[in-house]
C-alpha cells in the first residue's frame, strides 16, 4: 500500500515541486520514497512495504529497456499467476513484488490487463516513446485516483492535497459539489470540492496524451439471477468463494490483523481469517455505542487477541480537523472518525488489516433493502399508492405520514442511497449562493437506467455499489487507514465474490418469508448470513442474526451538551458560514435539536463538517487544527 503523485512537466523546478508533493502524502508510505523526472513528466512515490519488503521493491519501477515507468498504489493478489504467464512470454522481472506485473502486463496486454487482475489498485504508467500516460482504478474504487488539468499541466495522484504544492494548481471551491453534498453527505459525482479536480471513476482507465484525456470503463457489475440452485447450494458456494478470497487477501510478508465489530461482516472475516489480532473501538458504556464487550467475547471464542479502545468525546472532537484534512473532501459520515481511531490502534501493532466493507452492497445487507414489498400495502396497485402519497405529501411531515409519501413513489424517485440529508428544496433555502448542481435524480438516473427491468432491491444495490460505496464507505476506508500508514484490505470486494453474488436471486439476498429451520428469519443478506453461521463457531453463531450497527457514534447526544452545542454554533455563526448559508436556519436546526423538537443531528453534522473542511483547506491553506 502506497501513494503516488505526479504531473506533466512544464516547470523549471520540478525536482523541488515533486518532492513537496510527495511530502504531502508521506503518511501513505513512510518506508521509502522514489521519483522519476524527465522533460515530459515528474512521478513521485511513497512506499508502505507489504510484499517484498526489501529496497528492490521501491518505486518507480521500469520495464526491461526503461521505456516505461510505473507508480502504483494497492495489491494484486493473483500476481504470481500473471507473473508466470509473463515470464513464459519472455519478460524479465527485477523484483518479487506484485507491482512489477503491472508494467510488464501492460506491455504485453495493454488495457486488457485490467480484467486479468484480482486486487485493489490505482496506478499510472508513463510510456516515454509514445509520450503517453495510462492510468487505472480498480473495479470497486477501493483505491483513489484524482486528476486535474490546469494551464498546461496535467496533475494526478492518490490524494488531492499533493496538488496544493504545484505552482499551476488553482484552488477554488466547487460550489456545485457543496450543494450535492448537502443531500448525499459526500460528493456523488466525478467532480470534487476543488474546481477542475476530478475523480477517475471505479472500473475506468484514462489515457492522457498531447494535452487530451480519454476515459473508458473496462468492467461493470451485472446482476443476472440464476434461479436453478437451491438455498443450500448458494450457501456452500458463498462459503467456498469467500474462504478463497480471504486466503488471497492475506498474502503479505508482514503480519495481518482484522477489524471486529459486533456485526456479521467483520465477524465472518475474523472467524475464517486465522489472524492473531482483532481491533475494536467504542464510545462510553452504552451498548448502543460500544461493541467492545461483544468483540472481546467473540475474539476469545475464536482464540484471538482483541485490542480495543474507548474513544472519549474529547478525543473524537479533538481530531475532527485532522480527519477532514486527511479526507481531502468533506465527508459527513460520523463513523469516519471512529474508523480513524481503530486504524490508529491497529497501526501500533501491524501494517495490514482485513475489514468487512462491501458485504452489504454485494449481498443485500442494508435494512432499507427490506423496504420494497415489505408490507401488505406494497401490494396495492401503483396508482392507488401514488394518489395516497400525493395527499400525504401535503400534510406535516411525521413518521406515519412519511410512510405513505415514500410508498407513493417509485424507487427511482425516493432512493438516492443510504443517506438523504437535505432535500433539493431544503438545501436551496439553506444556501445563500446559487450553484449549477443537478437535481439528485439527475445524478442517480444513469445508474438506474443500467438496471431497468430489475427488481427494486437490485436497483438499490446497483446504485449503492456505484455511488454510496465509492463515495462514502471506501473513501473513508482508504483515507483513515492511510492516515495511519495502515493497509486496509476488503475481501468481500473481490471480483470472484461479486461474480457469485450477482447471480444470487433476490429472495436469497433480501427475504421477508425465508427462515432458517424455525430460527428467527433473516431478512437481509439471507444466504450470506447462513454461510457465516456455517463458518462461525457455534457459541458465537448468534452474530449471524445480529442487527448491523457499523460504528455507532453518539453525536445526537453530544449536540445537546453545552460544550459541543457551543462549538458547533460558533462555526454556524462565523464569517465562512455567512458566505454560504442562511445562518439563522442553521442555528434553528441546532436549537430544535437541543430542545428535542427534532433529531437534526445528521443535518447539523453535514454542515458542520463542511465548515471544518473549508477552514482546513481554504482558511488555513491545507493545515489542520489540533483542537476546535
For the ranges 224-233, 285-294, 382-391, the lowest mean pLDDT is seen at: 285-294
Residue 359 belongs to some domain of the structure: no
CA gap 320, 336 in Å, rounded: 10
* Bigger pLDDT: 537 vs 444: 444
Say if strands 119-127 and 132-137 run parallel, antiparallel, or are unpaired. antiparallel
Give the Cβ contact number of residue 353 at 10 Å.
Answer: 27
Task: Say what the pLDDT of residue 53 is.
Answer: 60
CA gap 210, 219 in Å, rounded: 26
CA gap 554, 558 in Å, rounded: 6
Quote the cell numbers at residue 526: 439471507
The domain boundary, picked from 193, 217, 241, lies at 217
List the CATH number of the domain containing 158: 3.60.20.10
Task: Say what the pLDDT of residue 390 is.
Answer: 84
Percentage of the chain surpassing pLDDT 70? 93
Instruction: Please confirm, yes or no, whether 343 is among the known catalytic residues.
Output: no
List 2, 102, 103, 264, catalytic entry: 2
Q: Nearest CA to 120 among 268, 248, 239?
A: 248
User: How would residue 162 be classed by pLDDT, with cut points 50, 70 and 90?
Assistant: very high
Q: Mean pLDDT in the chain?
A: 92
> Is residue 121 predicted with pLDDT exceeding 90?
yes
Quote the cell numbers at residue 10: 512544464
Residue 405 belongs to some domain of the structure: no
For the ranges 35-44, 197-206, 519-528, 619-628, the lowest mean pLDDT is seen at: 519-528
Residue 458 belongs to some domain of the structure: no
User: How would residue 407 be classed by pLDDT, with cut points 50, 70 and 90?
Assistant: confident
> Maximum distance among all alpha carbons in the chain?
73
Task: Say what the pLDDT of residue 1 is.
Answer: 60
User: How would residue 324 be classed by pLDDT, with cut points 50, 70 and 90?
Assistant: very high
CA gap 439, 561 in Å, rounded: 35
- φ and ψ of 203, to 5 deg: 60, 30
Q: Which domain holds residue 595?
A: 555-619
236-239 long-range contacts (CB < 8 A, ≥24 apart) are 236/531, 237/500, 238/500, 238/501, 238/527, 238/528, 238/531, 239/531, 239/534, 239/535
* Bigger pLDDT: 253 vs 149: 149
pLDDT digits (tens, 9 = 90+) for 346-370: 999 999 999 999 999 999 999 999 8
* Bigger pLDDT: 290 vs 110: 110
CA gap 501, 493 in Å, rounded: 11
Task: Say what the pLDDT of residue 404 is.
Answer: 84
Task: Say what the pLDDT of residue 593 is.
Answer: 97
Task: Say what the pLDDT of residue 617 is.
Answer: 97
Q: Nearest CA to 261 among 285, 297, 286?
A: 297
Percentage of the chain surpassing pLDDT 90? 79
> Is residue 555 predicted with pLDDT exceeding 90?
yes
Residue 573 belongs to some domain of the structure: yes
* CA separation, residue 511 to residues 112, 347, 362, 526 (Å): 38, 39, 15, 7
Based on the structure, what is the number of domains in the chain? 2
pLDDT digits (tens, 9 = 90+) for 408-459: 888 999 999 999 999 999 999 999 999 999 999 999 999 999 999 999 999 9
Residue 73 belongs to some domain of the structure: yes
Q: Nearest CA to 34 among 6, 12, 75, 7?
A: 6
The pTM is what? 0.94
Residue 400 belongs to some domain of the structure: no
* Bigger pLDDT: 35 vs 52: 35
Task: Say what the pLDDT of residue 57 is.
Answer: 67
The domain boundary, picked from 217, 249, 265, lies at 217
pLDDT digits (tens, 9 = 90+) for 269-278: 999 998 999 9
Q: How far from chain centre, in Å, is Cα 206?
A: 21
Q: Give the H/E segment covering residue 122.
A: strand 119-127
Average pLDDT for residues 23-28, to the nearest whole number?
96
Q: Nearest CA to 536 among 239, 135, 184?
A: 239
> Is residue 519 predicted with pLDDT exceeding 70?
no
Residue 151 belongs to some domain of the structure: yes
User: How would residue 518 be classed by pLDDT, with cut points 50, 70 and 90?
Assistant: very low
For the ranges 125-129, 468-472, 519-523, the lowest mean pLDDT is seen at: 519-523
The domain boundary, picked from 163, 198, 217, lies at 217
Q: Nearest CA to 603 among 549, 556, 566?
A: 556
pLDDT digits (tens, 9 = 90+) for 470-509: 999 999 999 999 999 999 999 999 999 999 999 999 999 9
pLDDT digits (tens, 9 = 90+) for 221-248: 999 999 999 999 999 999 999 999 999 9
CA gap 225, 243 in Å, rounded: 22
Q: Any idea which residue has 472500473 for its cell?
A: 203
Average pLDDT for residues 49-68, to the nearest whole number?
80
Residue 58 belongs to some domain of the structure: yes
3-state DSSP assignment of residue 561: coil
DSSP per-residue string spanning 488-503:
EE-TTS-HHHHHHHTT
For the ranges 18-22, 289-293, 439-443, the lowest mean pLDDT is seen at: 289-293
Average pLDDT for residues 304-324, to the nearest whole number?
95
Amino acid at each position: 500500500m502506497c501513494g503516488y503523485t505526479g504531473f506533466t512537466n512544464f516547470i523549471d523546478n520540478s525536482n523541488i515541486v515533486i518532492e513537496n508533493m510527495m511530502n504531502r502524502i508521506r503518511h501513505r508510505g513512510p518506508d521509502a520514497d522514489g521519483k522519476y523526472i524527465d522533460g515530459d513528466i515528474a512521478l513521485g512515490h511513497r512506499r508502505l512495504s507489504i510484499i517484498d519488503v526489501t529496497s528492490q521493491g521501491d518505486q518507480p519501477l521500469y520495464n526491461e529497456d526503461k521505456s516505461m515507468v510505473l507508480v502504483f498504489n494497492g495489491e494484486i493478489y493473483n500476481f504470481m499467476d500473471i507473473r508466470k504467464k509473463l515470464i513464459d512470454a519472455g519478460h524479465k522481472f527485477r523484483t518479487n513484488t506484485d507491482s512489477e506485473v503491472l508494467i510488464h502486463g501492460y506491455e504485453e496486454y495493454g488495457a486488457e490487463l485490467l480484467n486479468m487482475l484480482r486486487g485493489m489498485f490505482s496506478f499510472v504508467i508513463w510510456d516515454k516513446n509514445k509520450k503517453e500516460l495510462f492510468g487505472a482504478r480498480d473495479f470497486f474504487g477501493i483505491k483513489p485516483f484524482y486528476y486535474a488539468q490546469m494551464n498546461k499541466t496535467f496533475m494526478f495522484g492518490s490524494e488531492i492535497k499533493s496538488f496544493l504544492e504545484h505552482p499551476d494548481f488553482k484552488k477554488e471551491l466547487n460550489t456545485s459539489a457543496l450543494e450535492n453534498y448537502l443531500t448525499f453527505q459526500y460528493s456523488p459525482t466525478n467532480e470534487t470540492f476543488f474546481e477542475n479536480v476530478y475523480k477517475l471513476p471505479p472500473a475506468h482507465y484514462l489515457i492522457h496524451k498531447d494535452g487530451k484525456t480519454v476515459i473508458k470503463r473496462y468492467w461493470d457489475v451485472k446482476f443476472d439471477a440464476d434461479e436453478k440452485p437451491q438455498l443450500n447450494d448458494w450457501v456452500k458456494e458463498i462459503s467456498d468463494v469467500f474462504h478463497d478470497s480471504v486466503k488471497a487477501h492475506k498474502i503479505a510478508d508482514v503480519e495481518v490483523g482484522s477489524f471486529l465489530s459486533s456485526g456479521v461482516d467483520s465477524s465472518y472475516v475474523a472467524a475464517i481469517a486465522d489472524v492473531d489480532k482483532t481491533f475494536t473501538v467504542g464510545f462510553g458504556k452504552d451498548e448502543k455505542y460500544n461493541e467492545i464487550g461483544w468483540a472481546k467475547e467473540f475474539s476469545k471464542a475464536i482464540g484471538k487477541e482483541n485490542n480495543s479502545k474507548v474513544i472519549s468525546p474529547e478525543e473524537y472532537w479533538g481530531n475532527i480537523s485532522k480527519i477532514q484534512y486527511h479526507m481531502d473532501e468533506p465527508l459527513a459520515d460520523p463513523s469516519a472518525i471512529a474508523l480513524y481511531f481503530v486504524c490508529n490502534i491497529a497501526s501500533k501493532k501491524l501494517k495490514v488489516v482485513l475489514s468487512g466493507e462491501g458485504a452489504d452492497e454485494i449481498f443485500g445487507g442494508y435494512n432499507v433493502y427490506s423496504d420494497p414489498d415489505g408490507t401488505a400495502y406494497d401490494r396495492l396497485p401503483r396508482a392507488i399508492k401514488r394518489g395516497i402519497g400525493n395527499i400525504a405529501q401535503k400534510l406535516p411531515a411525521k413518521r406515519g405520514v412519511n410512510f405513505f409519501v415514500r410508498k407513493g413513489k417509485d424507487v427511482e424517485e425516493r432512493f438516492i442511497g443510504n443517506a438523504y440529508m437535505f432535500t433539493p428544496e431544503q438545501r436551496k433555502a439553506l444556501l445563500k449562493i446559487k450553484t449549477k448542481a443537478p437535481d439528485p435524480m439527475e445524478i442517480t438516473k444513469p445508474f438506474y437506467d443500467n438496471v431497468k427491468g430489475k427488481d427494486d432491491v437490485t436497483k438499490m444495490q446497483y446504485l449503492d455499489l456505484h455511488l454510496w460505496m465509492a463515495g462514502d464507505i471506501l473513501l473513508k476506508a482508504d483515507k483513515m487507514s492511510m492516515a495511519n500508514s495502515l493497509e486496509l484490505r476488503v475481501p468481500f470486494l473481490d471480483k470472484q465474490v461479486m461474480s457469485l453474488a450477482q447471480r444470487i436471486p433476490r429472495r436469497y439476498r433480501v427475504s421477508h418469508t425465508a427462515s432458517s429451520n424455525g430460527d428467527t428469519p433473516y431478512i437481509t443478506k439471507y444466504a450470506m448470513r447462513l454461510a457465516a453461521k456455517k463458518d462461525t463457531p457455534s457459541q458465537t453463531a448468534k452474530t449471524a442474526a445480529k442487527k448491523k450497527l457499523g460504528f455507532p457514534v453518539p453525536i445526537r447526544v453530544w449536540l445537546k451538551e453545552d460544550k459541543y452545542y457551543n462549538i458547533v454554533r460558533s462555526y454556524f455563526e462565523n464569517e465562512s458560514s455567512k458566505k454560504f448559508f442562511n445562518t439563522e436556519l442553521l442555528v434553528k436546526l441546532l436549537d430544535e435539536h437541543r430542545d428535542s423538537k427534532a433529531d437534526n443531528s445528521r443535518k447539523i453534522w453535514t454542515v458542520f463538517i463542511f465548515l471544518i473542511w473549508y477552514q482546513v483547506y481554504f482558511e488555513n491553506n491545507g493545515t489542520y487544527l489540533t483542537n476546535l
